[in-house]
Amino acid sequence: MKITMTEIVERALTGKPCSEREFDIKLSKRARELAKEYGVSSDPANPVPKDFGLANSVFKAGFQLFCELGAYCTSTNRIISFSEEEVRYALKYTPAEVWFGEGIDKKALIPRKPEDKRPPWCFLGAGGAPVSSEQILSILVENYAKIPQANSITTPALTRVRGVRISPGTPLEILGAIEAVRIAREAMRRAGRPGLPIMNLVATATTDSSLIAALNSEYGARPSDGVLVGILAELKTNFALLNKAFYAKSLGFRVAGELGPVYGGYAGGAEGTAIVTVAEHLMGLMVYQADWYLAFPVHAIYTANSSRELLWVRNVSAQAISLNTNLLSLYLSYIAAGPMTEMALYEIAAQISSVVVSGVSIEAVGVAKARYEDRMTPVEPKFAAEVAHASTRLNLQDVNELVRRLLPKYEDKLKNPPLGKKFQEICDIETGRVSREYLELLTKVKKELSDLGLPVE
C-alpha cells in the first residue's frame, strides 16, 4: 500500500536518531564507495555519455544510497527510513502522466526516454530569479506566456512589495507571495493564455506559512499548478518543508521534489553528485509523495550548471532516471552569464540540447545564476525552448559533439562571467519589446548553432 504523509511524519518523529554531521559524513563516504562499487566514472571529455550501462549503474548506486541512508529530518535529528520494497513499490505505481493547466493550455506531462523524438515539456521563465518590482514581474510573465512552446511558466521572485524589501516569516512575505500569484495570473490572461499553469508556486514564498497563504484560490492559485518543495542538501528535510508538501497535496496541487545536489559539497565529485541526484529523486517520491521532479545539480564554486563536470552529472543522471523509472523529471538550467551575452546563449544551448536528448524535460532559465535582480529577459527562455525542440532531431553522439564544440566558447569565463544587462536596459518596460541589438546577437548565435549541426528556428 502507498505510504501516507502521516506515516512519513511518524517516521520523522520516531526514526533512528543521528547527528547531522554523522549523516553528512556517512553520505559522502557511501556515495564515494558506491561509485567505485558500481564502476561509475566520469568522463569530462564526453559530457554527454552514450553508455546506458553507465546510466543504469548510476541508478542502482543512487537507489542503494537512498535505501541505505534514508532521508534526514533536521527538525528531529532522526532518519526517515524506507525499505527497498517500499521504494520499488512506489516506483512501480508512480503515475506515468500528470496533467497541468486549464482550458486549451491543459496538458499532460509525460516521461521521456533518451533520444526521444517527442518534444520535452517546456517550463519557461525566470527560474525564480529575483525582480525588483511588481511591474517588471508582470511584463516578464506576460512575455513568457507569449512564447508558443511554453507549457508552463516559472515566475520570478519579488524582492520588494510596495517598495518594501520582503523579510521571511513576516506579513510582507505573505503579501509578496500573494501578489506574485495574482500579478502572474493577470499577466498570463493579458497574453491570451489564462489557463497556462504556473509550476513554481510560489517563488516569493520561502516559509511554509507564506506558501500556504498564497495557495488560497482567492488569489489565483489552482490545483493544476505546480508547487516546489525543496530537498535540503543532501537528502534532508524539515517540518516546514513537510508542511508545504502535506498542505499542497491535500489541496490537489502538483507537488515537485526540488533537488539541487552540490558538486563539491557532501555529494563529492561528479560521480557522487550524479548518484545523489538519483537518490534525491527517490527521496522526493517517498518523503514528499512528489508528482514530478525538478533537478538542478549545481557547482559549489561557479553556482551554475554549465561546466563540463556538471553537464556530465546532468546528462548521466537524466539518463539514469529516464531509463529506469517513469518519474516526471525536469532539469533546471542555471547559467553563469547574464542577458545579451553570447556566453549566456552558448550555455543555454549546451545545457538544454544535451539534457533533452538525455531523456528529460526542461525548466529554463536561471540567468546570471538567478542571483542578480532584473538580469533576465523573455529572450533566454524562448531561445531555450527553440533549442529544446530542435534538439529532438539529434542523437546522443551528435549532441556530445555539439557540446564539445560549445564548451571552449565559454568554459574559461565561468568563474568571472559577463553579467550582461538588466531587463530594463534591454527591453521596453511597458511592452517587453526586445532591443534590436539583442535580436541581432541572437541571430548570429543561431547561425553558429546551425553550422554546428543544430538548426534552431
Partner 1 sequence: MREEEFFVELREAIIAGDVQRAKECAAKIVEEGIDPLKAIEEAVQPAARIVGEKFERLEIFLVDLIMAADAMKAATEILTSVIKAKRPLKPAGKVVIATVQGDVHDIGKNIVAALLVASGFEVYDLGVDVPALKIIEKAEEVGADVIALSALMTSTMRGQRDVIDMLKAMGIRDKYIVVVGGGATTAEWAREIGADGWAETAPEGVNLIRRLVEEKKGEKT
206 near partner 1, judged by CB under 8 A: yes
74 near partner 1, judged by CB under 8 A: yes
Residue 303 or 392: the one with the smaller Cβ distance to partner 1 is 303
The answer to whether 34 and 275 are in contact (CB under 8 A) is yes
Distance CA 165, CA 161 (A): 7
Q: 3-class DSSP state for residue 100?
A: strand
Q: x/- site string to partner 1, residues 418 to 457, per CB under 8 A?
A: ----------------------------------------
Stretch of residues binding partner 1 (CB under 8 A), selected from 165-173, 312-320, 352-360, 420-428: 165-173
> 3-state DSSP helix/strand/coil percent for the chain, to nearest 5?
45, 15, 40
Among 200, 204, 324, 400, binds partner 1 (CB under 8 A): 204
Q: Using CB under 8 A, which residues numbered 261 to 280 contact partner 1?
A: 262-269, 272
Stretch of residues binding partner 1 (CB under 8 A), selected from 62-70, 164-172, 281-289, 448-456: 164-172
214, 216, 221, 227 alpha-carbon torsion, rounded to 10°: 60
* Nearest of 208, 211, 160, 157 to residue 184 by alpha carbon: 157
165 near partner 1, judged by CB under 8 A: yes
What's the chain's Rg over C-alpha atoms? 20
167 near partner 1, judged by CB under 8 A: yes
Residue 111 or 176: the one with the smaller Cβ distance to partner 1 is 176
Q: x/- site string to partner 1, residues 8 to 27, per CB under 8 A?
A: ----------------xx--
Residue 370 or 449: the one with the smaller Cβ distance to partner 1 is 370
Q: Using CB under 8 A, which residues numbered 222 to 251 contact partner 1?
A: 232-233, 238, 240
Phi, psi (degrees; rounded to nearest 5) at 270: -60, -45
Distance CA 274, CA 297 (A): 8
The answer to whether 259 and 288 are in contact (CB under 8 A) is no
Among 127, 176, 297, 432, binds partner 1 (CB under 8 A): 176
Closest approach of partner 1 to the CB of residue 26, in Å: 10
Residue 159 or 392: the one with the smaller Cβ distance to partner 1 is 159
Q: Identify the bridge partners of residue 102 per DSSP, sorted by sequence position.
A: none
Closest approach of partner 1 to the CB of residue 303, in Å: 6
Phi, psi (degrees; rounded to nearest 5) at 294: -125, 115
Closest approach of partner 1 to the CB of residue 453, in Å: 31
321 exposure class (CB count in 10 Å sphere: 0-12, 13-18, 19+): buried
Alpha helices in 146-238 (DSSP H): 171-190, 208-214
The answer to whether 199 and 128 are in contact (CB under 8 A) is no
Stretch of residues binding partner 1 (CB under 8 A), selected from 36-44, 115-123, 162-170, 190-198: 162-170
Q: Using CB under 8 A, which residues numbered 363 to 392 contact partner 1?
A: 369, 371-372
The answer to whether 176 and 127 are in contact (CB under 8 A) is no
CA distances in angstroms from 139 to 133, 136, 157, 166, 430, listed in the order given: 10, 5, 13, 20, 7
Residue 174 or 390: the one with the smaller Cβ distance to partner 1 is 174
Among 77, 149, 207, 435, binds partner 1 (CB under 8 A): 207
Stretch of residues binding partner 1 (CB under 8 A), selected from 9-17, 139-147, 166-174, 319-327: 166-174
340, 343, 346, 347 alpha-carbon torsion, rounded to 10°: -100
Q: Using CB under 8 A, which residues numbered 303 to 362 contact partner 1?
A: 303, 309
Q: CA triplet 122, 124, 127: central angle to 5 degrees?
A: 125
Closest approach of partner 1 to the CB of residue 285, in Å: 22
Residue 105 or 208: the one with the smaller Cβ distance to partner 1 is 208
Residue 12 or 196: the one with the smaller Cβ distance to partner 1 is 12
29 near partner 1, judged by CB under 8 A: yes
CA distances in angstroms from 287 to 63, 82, 342, listed in the order given: 14, 9, 41
CA distances in angstroms from 410 to 305, 342, 344, 347, listed in the order given: 13, 9, 9, 7
300 near partner 1, judged by CB under 8 A: yes
157 near partner 1, judged by CB under 8 A: yes
Number of residues located near partner 1, criterion CB under 8 A? 40
Residue 169 or 252: the one with the smaller Cβ distance to partner 1 is 169
Q: Identify the bridge partners of residue 154 per DSSP, sorted by sequence position.
A: 125
Distance CA 334, CA 185 (A): 25
The answer to whether 367 and 433 are in contact (CB under 8 A) is no
- Site residues (CB under 8 A) for partner 1? 24-25, 28-29, 74, 128, 130, 157, 159, 165-169, 173, 176, 204-207, 232-233, 238, 240, 262-269, 272, 300-301, 303, 309, 369, 371-372
